[in-house]
């Protein structure tokens, strides 16, 4: 799978996990100690996630990291 297609799939899984957790982008950004626009930019692909941020999101959403990387 090409990189952009794989990254788009990761973003879709992140959005779905946030919605399943009944959290807003602002809620998650606050939990991460980030600005209110942080997650919006991540979910839109405007900003890339690093490994530690992905781990933090997985913990917030109560999902294993590999759930987002499959």
Please write the tens of the pLDDT for every residue from 8-54.
999 999 999 999 999 999 999 999 999 999 999 999 999 999 999 99
Where does the pLDDT of residue 70 fall: very low under 50, low under 70, confident under 90, or very high at 90 and above? confident
For the chain, the structural domain boundaries read 3-69
- Residue 59 burial (CB count, 10 A): 13
Lookup: tokens for 52? 């530690």
Global pTM exceeds 0.85 = yes
Q: Which fold has domain 3-69?
A: 434 Repressor (Amino-terminal Domain) (1.10.260)
- Cα(61)–Cα(42) distance, rounded to whole angstroms? 15
- Residue 35 burial (CB count, 10 A): 12
């Amino acid at each position: 799978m090409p990189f952009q297609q794989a990254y788009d799939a990761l973003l879709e899984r992140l959005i779905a996990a946030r919605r399943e957790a009944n959290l807003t982008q602002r809620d998650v950004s606050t939990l991460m100690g980030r600005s209110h626009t942080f997650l919006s930019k991540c979910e839109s692909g405007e900003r890339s996630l690093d490994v530690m941020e992905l781990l933090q999101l997985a913990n917030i959403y109560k999902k294993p990291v590999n759930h987002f990387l499959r």
